[in-house]
Amino acid sequence: MHPYDDGNGRLARATSDRLLAQATSPSSGEVRLSRALGLSAQILREREGYYTVLERCQRGDLDGTNWLIWFLERLIAAAQLNQAVIEAVHRKAAFWWHHRHSGFNARQQKLLNRLLDAEPEGFSGSLSLRKAIGLTRASRATAWRDLADLVAKQALEPIGAGRSSAYRIRWPG
């Protein structure tokens, strides 16, 4: 996977991404379809394993089987992550479509976008009143009213109670 003697892995990964992003369809006369898999980003997330398997292949009997297995596993992981991102975008679009007439104010939109943008991993630690105040720079009373209104409009649902109460997105059913 290294096209140059100096071990230029960045170029090899970019080339791999480019080749995987293209596909030709012989039945339609060489029409190209674009697919963004993000293989380079996946390898970057697992770079320690990348260097380990690469070194094993170079120092051992030069059998590339383990490297190929590792590479294909990263390709599958990148495709799965992309699928999760696509599903999150779809869910976000469905959420906004469902609430297109809800009349959220700018602070509420900011809170909802913050929660929605955290998908597919999810918002860390749920949305609390304290976090809402920090994100919107609103007073405690205003943030409380915004959250209560979002619950009333069925955009958020409360989890927990009392001082440990928090909120999460209420997905349209």
Give the CATH number of the domain where residue 104 resides.
1.10.10.10
pLDDT for 86 equals: 85
pLDDT-derived band at 151, boundaries 50, 70, 90: very high
pTM of the model as a whole: 0.67
**Residue 82 and residue 104 in one domain:** no
Q: Which of 54, 88, 122 is the last residue of a domain?
A: 88
Mean pLDDT along residues 107-130: 85
**Residue 132 and residue 75 in one domain:** no
**Residue 84 and residue 109 in one domain:** no
Q: Which residues are bridge partners to 32 per DSSP?
A: 24
The answer to whether residue 30 is domain-embedded is yes
**Residue 72 and residue 110 in one domain:** no
Strand locations in the chain (E): 22-25, 31-34, 156-159, 166-169
Q: How many domains does the chain have?
A: 2
**Residue 18 and residue 75 in one domain:** yes
pLDDT-derived band at 26, boundaries 50, 70, 90: low
137: tokens are 């720079």
- Flag whether pLDDT at 11 surpasses 80: no
CA 37 to chain CA centroid, nearest Å: 12
**Residue 111 and residue 41 in one domain:** no
- Flag whether pLDDT at 62 surpasses 80: no
Expressed as residue numbers, the domain containing 135 is: 99-169
| pLDDT cut 90: percent of the chain above it | 37
Q: 67-81, 84-98, 129-143 — which one is most confidently predicted on average?
A: 129-143
